Each structure stands twice: as C-alpha cells, then as structure tokens.
C-alpha cells in the first residue's frame, strides 16, 4: 500500500513537472516554458498545484447507477487521516465520454481532500445518475464494511461536469433538494443542444446553493460566452444567460478562459489524449474551480477571497480570464 501511495504521488508530481519543462532555443539558450493558461495570481496558482493528499483511483469501484453503469472513484489514499471528513464531488461526463478521460482533473480534485465519484454513464444530462452517485457515497459513509465508513462529510457535496455533464451537474443540484450545495460547470452547452426539454439546464430552477460557470473562449459553437438576443427572448444560449438567469439568492460566478475549446477539460494535462476540439488542455480548469470547491465545501477563506465581486483575484487575471462576473459581495 505504501509503495502504491508513493507511486501515486510520483506520477502526479511528474505530470506537473513535465508541464514546465525547459525548452532549448535554436541558439542553445535554455528558457523556462510554462503551460497555457498558467496562473498569474497567487490564489489561483496555489490551487493549480496538486494538493497535499496522495490519491488512489479505482475504476469500476461499485455498481450501479440507473443505467447499469459502474462508478469510478478518486480519493485521498489515507482516508480520514487526522480525523478529516472528506467532502464529496460527483462528476458528470460529457457526451459519449467516460471518467478516465478526465483522470488528470479528477485526481487533482482528490489531491485537495475531496472524494470524487463518477458514473461511467455516457449520457448524464438529466443529472439523475450524477445525483445517484453522490447518494451512493452518502450510504457508504454509514456502511461499516466500506472503506469510506465515517470518513465523508455527507453534508458537503458538490457536482462538477463537462459539456452534457455540466448540464447534468446543474440538474443534479435542482433534483437534490439542497443536498448538493454547489456546482462547477465546464463548457455548459446552450439550451439549443438539449435532446429534450427535460434534459435542458435551467438556472432559473436553482433555489439554493452556488454555481461557478467556466467556458473557453474558443468554444463559441457549443458553450458561447454571449448571445445576440436577450435570454428572455432566445432562451439560455450562453454562459452569460445562464449566469444572469440564476436567482440573485444563489451565489454565482462566471469566467471565460482565454484559448480553450470544448474538450480541453479532458487534457491529461495537454490535448494529446483529449477528444477534438482541444486547444490548450486542462491547465486553466485546475486552479479556480478547485478554489471554488474549497471555498464552498471546506470554508477556505483564501479561496473565497478570489471570487469577491470587483476586488477578487479572478478579476485581476486578465491574461487568462475574461467575462469575470460574480455576485459575491464579501
């Protein structure tokens, strides 16, 4: 077990180090290279780095959701060390994707002390199986034979998803009746891409909790930043519309990453293994999304400070971010 823990740490750290390799120019001068969307602010940089927990991943950990799909998990290897209770993150895959395609991102979240569960279901838009995955872990916390027995903070649950899974994450929040406290959406599709009205995300239905919308500037086809007509006329066809339609009583923020396209969250960490289109890789989806979850599910004051409207760090990071918006006053 100890050897496996060391291996987990080495693999994760090596991936980060490889992302910052030294390139040699034609003249032979060594220059430090940084990945795309490398943080320029101290708060984002802190949560961009791997967290303090070694991570274990298990594919097909348990069965099953309503579709018969298994659950994959990423979790701190030393569960509950020091009496810690770990918040739960339930993940939603994009269309026709599986959790292993997001392994770098999900491992990163687990390294910050979250237990991450992801259905292998490739159609997660309704949110039902994203919610059932969270409910499975809640049950495991009270199951004496489970490795998660009395190690989870079942009162602190978040939903994170990409593309169709981002739609599902919002739907899971609504269907949970307050059990899921926050959502992070990555490349949330415009409503016109819904297969049915039941599958559409509708932020007007949110009655509690919080949400952080993240989209890439190159993803104008599926997850555009803005739309020509007001959302009251044309529906929720942009991240701006989703943000604006969410009730003022819901804590919310939105930011657009400079450069990424629709499938960048699948980066491992670059685009080599990601589905097309991918422009930069997962780098920009590590820092502030992690900070948001640390704020909302662990009460991290430093992470919270980044999102305060107007003065938060995300508003100063104009190299990598645009459209920064928040209703978090203090």
The more confidently predicted of residues 191 and 66 is 191
| Cβ count within 10 A of residue 143 | 11
Helix axes 103-111, 2-18, angle to 10 degrees: 120
Assigned domain for 14 exists = no
CA dist 13 to 56, 104, 193, Å?
A: 14, 11, 38
Encoded tokens for 119: 């259905």
Assigned domain for 4 exists = no
* CATH (domain of 84): 3.40.50.1820
Whether residue 196 has pLDDT greater than 60: yes
Assigned domain for 28 exists = no
State the average pLDDT over residues 165-173. Answer: 97
The model carries a pTM of 0.90
Assigned domain for 19 exists = no
Cite the DSSP H helix spans in the chain.
2-18, 42-48, 103-111, 128-141, 164-176, 231-234, 239-245, 287-298, 301-305
Encode pLDDT of 65-118 as tens digits.
888 899 999 999 999 999 999 999 999 999 999 999 999 999 999 999 999 999
Instruction: Pick the closest to residue 166 from 149, 182, 188 (CA basis).
Output: 188
Q: Report d(CA 197, CA 146) in Å as an integer.
A: 38
Assigned domain for 3 exists = no
Q: What is the pLDDT of residue 23?
A: 33
Assigned domain for 21 exists = no
Give the N- to C-terminal CA distance of the chain in Å, as an integer. 44
pLDDT band, residue 5 (cuts 50/70/90): very low
3-state SS class at 41: coil
Domain that holds residue 155: 39-326
User: Average pLDDT, whole number, for the chain?
Assistant: 91
Q: What is the pLDDT of residue 4?
A: 37
Report yes or no: 151 and 143 within 8 Å, Cβ to Cβ: no
Number of structural domains, the chain?
A: 1
Q: What is the pLDDT of residue 32?
A: 52
Assigned domain for 156 exists = yes
Whether residue 299 has pLDDT greater than 60: yes
Encoded tokens for 165: 């899974």
């Amino acid at each position: 077990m100890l050897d496996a823990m060391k291996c987990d740490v080495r693999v994760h750290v090596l991936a980060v180090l490889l992302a910052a390799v030294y390139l040699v120019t034609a003249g032979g001068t060594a220059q430090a290279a940084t990945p795309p969307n490398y943080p320029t602010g101290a708060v984002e940089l802190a949560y961009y780095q791997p967290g303090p927990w070694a991570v274990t991943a298990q594919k097909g950990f348990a069965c099953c959701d309503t579709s018969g799909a298994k659950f994959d998990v990423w979790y701190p290897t030393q569960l509950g060390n020091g009496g810690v209770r770990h918040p739960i993150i339930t993940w939603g895959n994009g269309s026709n994707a599986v959790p292993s395609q997001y392994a770098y991102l999900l491992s990163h979240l687990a390294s910050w002390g979250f237990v991450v569960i992801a259905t292998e279901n490739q159609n997660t838009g309704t949110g039902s199986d994203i919610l059932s995955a969270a409910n499975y872990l809640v049950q495991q916390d009270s199951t004496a034979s489970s490795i998660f027995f009395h190690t989870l903070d079942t009162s602190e649950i978040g939903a994170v998803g990409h593309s169709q899974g981002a739609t599902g994450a919002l739907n899971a929040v609504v269907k949970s009746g307050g059990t899921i406290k926050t959502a992070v959406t990555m490349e949330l599709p415009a409503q016109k891409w819904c297969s049915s009205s039941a599958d559409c995300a509708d932020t007007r239905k949110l009655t509690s909790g919080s949400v952080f919308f993240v989209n890439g500037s190159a993803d104008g086809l599926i997850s555009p930043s803005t739309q020509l007509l007001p959302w009251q006329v044309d529906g929720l066809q942009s991240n701006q519309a989703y943000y604006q339609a969410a009730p003022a009583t819901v804590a919310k923020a939105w930011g657009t990453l400079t450069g990424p396209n629709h499938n960048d969250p699948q980066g491992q960490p670059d685009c080599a293994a990601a589905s097309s289109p991918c422009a930069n890789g997962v780098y920009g989806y590590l820092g502030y999304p992690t900070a948001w979850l640390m704020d909302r599910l662990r009460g991290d004051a430093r992470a919270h400070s980044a999102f305060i409207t107007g003065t938060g760090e995300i508003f100063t990071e104009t190299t990598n971010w645009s459209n920064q918006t928040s209703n978090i006053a203090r």
